[in-house]
Amino acid sequence: MKTDAKGTTAAKPGFHTVTPMITAEGADKVIQFLKQVFDAVVVDLLERPDGKVAHATVAIGDSIVMIGEAGNGPDCAAALANLYVYVADADATYGRALKAGGSKAMEPADMFWGDRYGAVKDQTGNTWGIATHIEEVEPAELRRRAAAFMGEQAAAG
């Protein structure tokens, strides 16, 4: 990451240039879901006077997700997120997500781009893509597979 003349970076240590931030009605439910499904670790948690989550920083693997309760300020309306998470075993993680209260969005399947991928929605409506990379796909083969997939989707549609 690029540093300035003082040697500081634009992002906080441990954060990436792009850091997802989820604003939800029921931020505490999202945090519990992430802990159960992805073994997320709460790095910090600030509560509002009413006990709801003002701001939380959660680590999932090598990534940080920030989470806050809707209504924390004028620009903090609930907004649904769609995140893609790489895990060691997509099928097992998908199963944990359903046990943790998630709802089925897509059962895991081998996808044309080289990932085994499925998706669930958490209790507040965010979609969590769950993937395990299973195959490197060369660009020409990826284009061929993508065209075949889109053709199948159009025919089924």
**Which phi and psi (to 5°) does residue 124 adopt?**
-105, 0
The pTM of the full predicted model, rounded to 2 decimals, is 0.89
Answer yes or no: same fold for 1-79 and 81-157.
Answer: no
- Coil, helix or strand at residue 82: strand
Q: Are 121 and 30 in contact (CB under 8 A)?
A: no
Instruction: Please report, for the chain, the start and end positions of each structural domain, with discontinuous segments joined by +.
Output: 1-79, 81-157
CATH architecture type of domain 1-79: 2-Layer Sandwich (3.30)
- Coil, helix or strand at residue 32: helix
CA triplet 38, 92, 16: central angle to 5 degrees? Answer: 30
Give pLDDT tens digits along the chain (157 positions). Answer: 555 566 666 778 888 888 999 999 999 999 999 999 999 999 999 999 999 999 999 999 999 999 999 998 877 899 999 999 999 999 999 999 999 999 999 999 999 999 999 999 999 999 999 999 999 999 999 999 999 999 999 999 8
- Domain over 81-157 is classified CATH 3.50.50.60: no
